[in-house]
A and B are shown apart, each in its own frame.
Chain A
């Protein structure tokens, strides 16, 4: 069946630009997670949704980062006024219960 999809797969942004990253989870998965993975590091948790409720946003690095999942399916991670340190792969994962299934990620490069 269809897995988690993310778009765009690659994004180049100029410093100061706003970006929006989309995640389409596996149909029916209640839980949705966003992670940030810097080069040579493991993924780091950003935020968690259960259906449309954002239950944990403790990993968001600053108030420039905002995530939503208004109808409990598709989620968008928005980064305002991008900085060079935001360059990373942004991974989305969805989960029916325990196991998390990752999407291919969006590779963001901020110049």
Chain B
């Protein structure tokens, strides 16, 4: 079993839709959580960190559920430009080097 798991999708949604992705992690000692966006043939770019209380940045909302060991990303009012792969990443646990453990990524396609 992988340490961080995501549904690879693809998620195909119309413009304006709300879409949610989940990501589960296995190491209960994990300390920090992130969502990265990766466009085709580009590098991952930090979308947002995920805080215990949940956090929002415009149309994007991230939440952490430590009891069930998952993080989520909600995108409201999807835009064509949101089409990308969304990677969840987890840091911490037994290692203190700061390395990120990534999920496989979830592909989102927003259609007109």
Q: Are A and B a genuine interacting pair, yes or no?
A: yes
Contact check: which of A48, A98, A104 meets B43 at CB < 8 Å? A104
The segment out of A13-21, A39-47, A63-71, A72-80 that lies at the interface is A39-47
Q: Which of A85-111 contact B (CB under 8 A)?
A: 91, 95, 98-105
The segment out of B14-22, B66-74, B76-84, B100-108 that lies at the interface is B100-108
Closest Cβ–Cβ distance, residue A55 to chain B (whole Å): 6
Closest Cβ–Cβ distance, residue A11 to chain B (whole Å): 15
For residue B1, CB closer than 8 A to chain A, the reply is no
Interface string of B79-112 (1 = CB under 8 A from A): 0000000010101000101111111110000000
A91 with B44: in contact, given A45-B99, A48-B98, A100-B100 (CB under 8 Å)?
yes
B44/A48 in contact, CB under 8 A: no
* CB-CB nearest in chain A for B45: A102
A43/B102 in contact, CB under 8 A: yes
Closest Cβ–Cβ distance, residue B107 to chain A (whole Å): 9
* CB-CB nearest in chain B for A6: B43
CA distance A48 to B100 in the complex (A): 11
B32: chain A residues within 8 A (beta carbon): 98
Contact check: which of B42, B46, B101, B104 meets A104 at CB < 8 Å? B42
Q: Which of B20-66 contact A (CB under 8 A)?
A: 32, 42-46, 49
A95/B43 in contact, CB under 8 A: no
Instruction: Name B's A-contacting residues (CB within 8 A).
Output: 4, 6, 8, 32, 42-46, 49, 87, 89, 91, 95, 97-105
Instruction: Name A's B-contacting residues (CB within 8 A).
Output: 31, 33, 35, 40-45, 48, 55-56, 59, 91, 95, 98-105
28 contacts between A and B (CB under 8 A): A31-B98, A33-B100, A35-B100, A35-B102, A40-B8, A40-B105, A41-B105, A42-B6, A42-B87, A42-B103, A42-B104, A43-B44, A43-B102, A48-B99, A56-B99, A59-B99, A91-B43, A95-B98, A98-B32, A98-B49, A98-B98, A99-B49, A100-B98, A100-B100, A103-B43, A104-B42, A104-B43, A105-B43
